[in-house]
Amino acid sequence: GNLTFTMIKPDAVKANNHAKILQHLIDAGFRIVALRMWCMSRNDAKRFYAVHKDKEFFEPLVDFMSSGPIVAAVLEKENAVAELRKIVGATDPEEAAEGTIRKLYGTARRYNAIHASDSDENARTEWSIHFTEADIICHIACSFSNFISVFVGCMFTSMFFASRLSVMKKAG
């Protein structure tokens, strides 16, 4: 699909790196479809990371993720899930490839600066914890209404020139 979800984690926001990370995403060809800076409660974080509830790192992860503001975003690009995971890099910043966001801004396996969804389905489940459908639809509705106004504008312009042309032809 063309959409994925990302979240800049509290470590990167505290270090004041969130704008740089968003710019990194934009420079990599992503468009920001929805954006929200807010604080998750422990319950929100538990819901978000429910798949990891049996892991030994779950409780500290939930504490960390609810320890300060995060920046959540829905991103658009062709083949979005795979493209985002490429530039985010491996979970452990030490293992992440040079130039990836986690290599640049992460400091530990837990404090790895950013989250990236691993499938289209998970992206949808994850962004629904941060956004309403309207937050995402609005972007699509805006592009649709822009498209319609440009289309109608072009139609009127060409009708105007066509009528001028026929007036000129009649006048010889």
Residues recognised as catalytic: 115
Binding residues for ligand CMP, total number by CB under 6 A: 8
Comparison of 2 and 107: residue with beta carbon closer to ligand CMP: 107
x/- mask, ligand CMP, residues 92-121, rule CB under 6 A, reads -----------------xx-x--x------
Edge to edge, the sheet with strand 31-38 lists 31-38, 70-76, 3-8, 114-116
Residues 6+ apart with CB under 8 A from 17: 8, 105, 113
Residue 27 CB, nearest approach to ligand CMP (Å):
21
CA pair distance 113, 156, nearest whole angstrom: 50
* Distance between CA atoms of residues 70 and 65, nearest Å: 8
Q: What are residue 5's DSSP bridge partners?
A: 74
Q: Are 17 and 111 in contact (CB under 8 A)?
A: no
Q: Cβ closer to ligand CMP: 33 or 93?
A: 93
Q: Which is nearer to ligand CMP, 110 or 139 (CB)?
A: 110
Cβ–Cβ < 8 Å for 57, 82: no
CB of 161 to ligand CMP, least distance (A): 55
Is 132 near ligand CMP (CB under 6 A)? no
Q: Which amino acid is at 147?
A: F
Using CB under 6 A as the binding rule, whether residue 61 contacts ligand CMP is answered as: yes
Q: Which of 23, 41, 79, 91 binds ligand CMP (CB under 6 A)?
A: 91
Map residue 40 onto helix, strand or coil: coil
Nearer to ligand CMP by Cβ, of 4 and 112: the residue is 112
Min separation Cβ 87 and ligand CMP, Å: 14
Amino acid at 107: T
Rule CB under 6 A: which residues touch ligand CMP? 52, 57, 61, 91, 109-110, 112, 115
